[in-house]
Amino acid sequence: MSNILEVDNLTVTDMRDQDEIVHHISFELKKNSCLGIVGESGSGKSITAKAILGLTNPWLKSEGTVKYFGKNHCTDMLKLDTNSLRVIRGQHICMILQDSMSAFDPLEPIEKQMGETFMENLKVSKIQARNMAVEYLKLMNINDADQVMKKYPHQLSGGMLQRCMIATALAMKPDIIIADEPTTALDSINQREVVGEFQRLRELTGTALIFISHDLGVVQHLSDQLLVMKDGEGVEYGDAKTIFSNPQHEYTRHLIATRLKMSQSFRKAMKSGIGR
Ligand SMILES: Nc1ncnc2c1ncn2[C@@H]1O[C@H](COP(=O)(O)OP(=O)(O)OP(=O)(O)O)[C@@H](O)[C@H]1O
């Protein structure tokens, strides 16, 4: 399978004090595959994801290359201007953030926000956009989608908002979804459902996934490839199954020993098939 993204030697520096936050990270994302990125808090996972999409603060400088292989063209994301980046972010590479509240405008109901995203990026009519919103919310197991869509963000729980955000991204059928801690606000049963949706989406559309998480159980379940980060460095990278069964780096061994235990409830839910 060919690559949809190639990150080579990505370095992110805080220009205010010349502090290098991400050091020479390289990885590839194959079409229709999932790359998991794991590492403790502050290891640079989010900054790496944001750098790929040009979403870092202006004082952060990204260097290296981030090649995105779209239909019939290859683009270095780090060389694009703001408008071109916005088009790619709207239509081809979607990011799902850990803080779902910040992804929505507090002053507009969910229906309007999802609808406008679809109308703007997919050029569909208002009615089509509304139908899409209902369809994808239902796909995320929100059965009272009509009611949920009428609500303002503050009227919904973090978990429900997270599902609205994921539904919006799924509906765009992008080439790549970068999901940064997308299941953090969910309990283990809902995590199972959301993880199932990601899998289904990949099967249906071939969307590739970069899945960033503290939760090694979720990552182990989803990932084909794995990147382990520590202090802004990639300490281990390769086939996920191989790394989980035979970690080479001491830090990976430590993560697997300590973090996998913490995801036992998720693994139990996956095994029992609750919520299916
Ligand atoms: N906007 C910013 N400006 C400067 N430094 C930042 C900025 N955001 C994060 N950092 C620093 O970059 C490093 C990596 O942060 P990052 O958020 O990427 O870690 P992470 O692995 O995603 O952590 P978490 O799992 O808690 O989200 C940290 O030392 C952090 O303090």
Task: Please give the distance, rounded to the nearest whole angstrom, from the Cα atom of residue 48 to the centre of ligand 1.
Answer: 9
Ramachandran class of 249: left when φ > 0, alpha when ψ lies in -120 to 50, beta otherwise = beta
What does the domain layout of the chain look like in residue ranges? 3-92+177-272, 104-173
pLDDT at 276: 36
Distance between CA 140 and CA 207 in Å, rounded? 17
Distance between CA 116 and CA 210 in Å, rounded? 25
C-beta 57 within 6 A of ligand 1: yes
- Rounded to the nearest 10 degrees, what angle do helices 158-171 and 126-139 cross at? 120
Please report where in the chains the tokens 């590739």 appear, as a residue: 208
Q: What is residue 225's three-state secondary structure? A: strand
Q: Which atom of ligand 1 is nearest to the CA of 44?
A: 18
ipTM of this predicted complex?
A: 0.96
DSSP label of 55: -
Q: Which atom of ligand 1 is nearest to the CA of 49?
A: 18
**What distances in angstroms separate CA 48 from CA 123, 130, 143, 213, 259, one per listed residue?**
31, 34, 35, 13, 21
DSSP label of 249: S
Nearest CA among 54, 3, 48 for reference residue 229: 48
pLDDT at 44: 95
Task: Please give the distance, rounded to the nearest whole angstrom, from the Cα atom of residue 36 to the centre of ligand 1.
Answer: 18
Nearest CA among 207, 165, 210, 155 for reference residue 185: 165
Please report where in the chains the tokens 């939760």 appear, as a residue: 215
Nearest CA among 264, 177, 159 for reference residue 221: 264
pTM for the full predicted model: 0.87
C-beta 129 within 6 A of ligand 1: no
pLDDT at 272: 61
Q: What is residue 147's three-state secondary structure? A: helix
pLDDT at 238: 97
pLDDT at 148: 95
CATH among 3.40.309.10, 3.40.50.300, 3.40.50.10860, 3.40.50.2020 for 3-92+177-272: 3.40.50.300
Query: Which of the residues in the chain have pLDDT under 50?
Result: 274-276
Task: Please give the distance, rounded to the nearest whole angstrom, from the Cα atom of residue 113 to the centre of ligand 1.
Answer: 28
pLDDT at 263: 62
CB 39 within 8 A of CB 103: no
pLDDT at 274: 44
